[in-house]
């Protein structure tokens, strides 16, 4: 379940926006957190590029956008870049391509994906579909705007996002332990 750490993302968004004004010849995007998952030390954040110039028309009325999965866990790629195709009229989505990037090898490799229209899409795919098809519902669906920045700046935002999510995970775990401790206390 996504909770909205909006006020905690604000300093990150301001920092990224200030830096993004430097280079006008670099491909820029308008990045939004559309989903996150995982636990302490194993967080994954999914960022969609909502810049209309970077959302492309596909045959049959579908649209294509970039979604980036940032990984916190060691041994995983730094990120996976997905080409996600969205068909709003038929309320469906599919992944058309995936590229894993690892800073260890400093190269992209073909990532795993299934190009079939998903009847029960993974949560990040469903959120990506809703990001495009229902832009007015972004706040209600807890989608957070990071701001306009280059792709390299977007990928560098991962550690700050993981720090925020790990703090939230720690709070949830502490509250769970406290609740369990109270539940085990003898009643008077």
Interval 139-158 mean pLDDT? 85
On average, the pLDDT of the chain sits at 81
CA atoms within 13 Å, Cβ hemisphere of 155: 14
Q: CA-to-CA distance for 31 and 38, rounded, in angstroms?
A: 20
Report the alpha-carbon angle 28-32-34, nearest 5.
140
Does residue 144 have a pLDDT over 80? yes
- Which pLDDT score, from 0 to 100, does residue 22 have? 44
Q: Would you call 47 exposed, middle or buried from its count of C-beta atoms within 10 A (0-12, 13-18, 19+)?
A: buried
Tokens of 40: 């302490």
Q: Would you call 5 exposed, middle or buried from its count of C-beta atoms within 10 A (0-12, 13-18, 19+)?
A: middle
Interval 155-165 mean pLDDT? 75
Does residue 160 have a pLDDT over 90? no
- Which pLDDT score, from 0 to 100, does residue 15 have? 40
- Which pLDDT score, from 0 to 100, does residue 124 have? 95
In this predicted model, what pLDDT tens digit does every residue of 24-65 receive, in sequence order? 456 899 999 998 888 778 888 999 999 999 999 998 899 999
Report the alpha-carbon angle 175-177-182, nearest 5.
95
Does residue 23 have a pLDDT over 50? no
Report the alpha-carbon angle 66-169-8, nearest 5.
65
In this predicted model, what pLDDT tens digit does every residue of 115-133 receive, in sequence order? 999 989 999 999 999 999 9
Band of pLDDT at residue 186, cut at 50, 70 and 90: confident
Buried b (16+ CB within 10 A) or exposed e, 118-143: eeebeebbbbbbbbbbeeeebeeebb
Does residue 94 have a pLDDT over 80? yes
């Amino acid at each position: 379940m996504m909770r909205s750490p909006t006020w905690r993302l604000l300093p990150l968004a301001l920092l990224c926006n200030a830096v993004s004004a430097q280079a006008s010849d670099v491909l820029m995007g308008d990045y939004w957190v559309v989903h996150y998952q995982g636990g302490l030390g194993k967080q994954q954040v999914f960022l969609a590029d909502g810049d209309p110039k970077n959302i492309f028309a596909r045959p049959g009325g579908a649209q294509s956008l970039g979604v980036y999965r940032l990984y916190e866990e060691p041994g995983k790629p730094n990120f996976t870049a997905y080409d996600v195709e969205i068909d709003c009229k038929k309320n469906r989505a599919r992944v058309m391509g995936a590229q894993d990037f690892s800073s260890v090898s400093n190269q992209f490799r073909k990532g795993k994906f299934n190009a079939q229209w998903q009847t029960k899409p993974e949560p990040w795919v469903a959120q990506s579909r809703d990001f495009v098809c229902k832009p007015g519902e972004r706040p209600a669906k807890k989608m957070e705007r990071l701001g306009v920045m280059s792709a390299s700046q977007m990928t560098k935002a991962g550690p700050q996002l993981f720090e925020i999510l790990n703090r939230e995970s720690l709070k949830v775990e502490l509250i769970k332990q406290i609740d369990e401790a109270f539940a085990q206390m003898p009643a008077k």
